[in-house]
Amino acid sequence: MAEKKTCPIDGAEMRSVFRATLLGRHEVQYFCCYACSFLQTEEPYWLEEAYNAAIADCDTGIMERNLHNAVRISAVLKLLKCEREPIVDMAGGYGILTRLLRDVGFDCRWSDKYCGNILSKGFQAAPEQKAAVLCALEVLEHVEDPLGFLRDAIAQYGARAIVFSTEDFKTVPDSDWWYYSRDSGQHISFYSVSSLEALAKQLGWFYTSLPRHLHLFTASPVAGLRGAVLKSYLLYPYALWALLRMRHHSRTHTDRELLAKEKDGVG
């Protein structure tokens, strides 16, 4: 096995820091970047096996996570003044977040190459779809080339902001950290605060750390009172206020009518 690799974020050398067993049988090396402390497995040859199901059976937090994130993202979108602009939830899975955001009035669409959408059928992002904001919740830890992935997404959708979630760290976590997700084998990339800053810099964008492992990349800096609220736990009371403000704009019933017309071949 190789003892070194190159960091996909900044091109610096990575060193082997430990080995662990994934999916109960694959002995895998983990590497850390000397420059930005980005952590990543060796080349993930086991992914076809890991993605036998797109959503891991052991992901018992999927509903709680989406409910919680929908509230926070509602606040972020209002603070960015994007509540009336298109949004795309990348790797949207079953469509949970898309449905929740549409239910409070946001024009959210989903995209996912690998998972069948259940809850937001009819609201898939079209090939020519443009979006002001991209959501990537619990996505980047699955990506082998995060810089290329984000560059492609920005170019495709013309976005000016990306809000995403991933567990971050300041020092390399112990080899028994739960977020390595060894039972599923799907998590291959892990982000230090420094690596997220480096990733934003490589994009030519700005990084804002939000409470509880939510993160924001923006094409322009978010300063002043809006920036202060985003970075602090004031985001939570603001989120509740934002949802109250949006309650009259729900798309729940208009979406039902639209889908019913399409089913009947009307319009």
CA distance 18 to 168: 18
The model's pLDDT over 62-98, given as tens digits with 9 standing for 90+, comes to 888 888 888 889 889 988 988 889 999 998 988 999 9
CATH number at residue 188: 3.40.50.150
Average pLDDT over residues 216-229: 93
Among 7-21, 79-93, 130-144, the least confident range: 79-93
Q: Confirm whether 92 is domain-assigned.
A: yes
Residue ranges making up the domain that contains 114: 62-263
pLDDT at 56 over 70: no
The model's pLDDT over 100-126, given as tens digits with 9 standing for 90+, comes to 999 988 999 999 888 888 899 899 999
Q: Confirm whether 242 is domain-assigned.
A: yes
| C-alpha dihedral, 230 to 232 to 236 to 242, nearest 10° | -30
Percent of the chain with pLDDT over 70: 95
Q: Confirm whether 33 is domain-assigned.
A: yes
Same domain, 38 and 147: no
Same domain, 114 and 203: yes
- State the pLDDT at residue 33: 97
Q: Structural domain tally of the chain?
A: 2
Structure token pair of residue 226: 């809006």
Same domain, 87 and 179: yes
